[in-house]
Amino acid sequence: MRKLWVKAWLTLDGVFDVETMDHWWPPKGETAADYAKRTDYITEEYSKGDAYLLGRTTYEMLWPAWSTQTDTVGSILNSMQKYVVSTTLESAPWKESTIIRENVVEEIRKLKEQPGKDIIIDGSAALVHSLMGTDLIDEYHLLIVSYTMGRGRRFFPDGMPPTKLQLVESKRLSSETLALVYQSDKD
């Protein structure tokens, strides 16, 4: 069975919404070497997947820019099968895109049962929050930026079901960014 994991950029206090990103992204003290290390890490992460699962807002934010990119990350993303969860999206113009309109949990469960590489959810707050508490998310790949926002949408919202996670990887990408991978403890 394929793994489904979430990739999210977060502040130290857990904020990950696009409305506040202009304050904390990109990491302010990053050097060219830091940028290269971060880019290499992200490229390696994306290369683990062949399916990209997104909510409507994130899809609409990413496809105009990434669909024309030919660099390494752009090539990886453009070759992936993309699934966008939305009841309102009329069309999904990014190459290899399919809209999931209903029975989202069941449709994602079917995707996980198909052969292939990992399924990656990028950002997509509403989608991620709707899947927390199901047994579908296998890992959380969190890129933590050393900034506290104090307000904004939290990655782990109030009221989410208690979830035991196990830290399986940590990497310092720069003085500003830490990469953490947590596996869901499904016992």
- Res 55: pLDDT: 93
Interior/surface letters 94-120, b for 16+ CB within 10 angstroms, e for the rest: beebebbeeebeebbeebbeeeeebbb
- Res 187: pLDDT: 60
Q: pTM for this structure?
A: 0.92
- Res 183: pLDDT: 96
Burial of 180 (0-12, 13-18, 19+ CB in 10 A): middle
3-state secondary structure of 13: coil
Strand 165-172 to 177-184 pairing = antiparallel
| Residue ranges per structural domain of the chain | 49-117, 132-178
Answer for the pair 144, 15: CB distance below 8 angstroms, yes or no.
no
The CATH code for residues 49-117 is 3.40.430.10
Query: Mean pLDDT for each 10-residue chunk of the chain (187 residues)?
Result: 94 85 76 88 95 94 91 92 96 94 96 97 90 92 92 87 91 91 84
- Res 114: pLDDT: 96
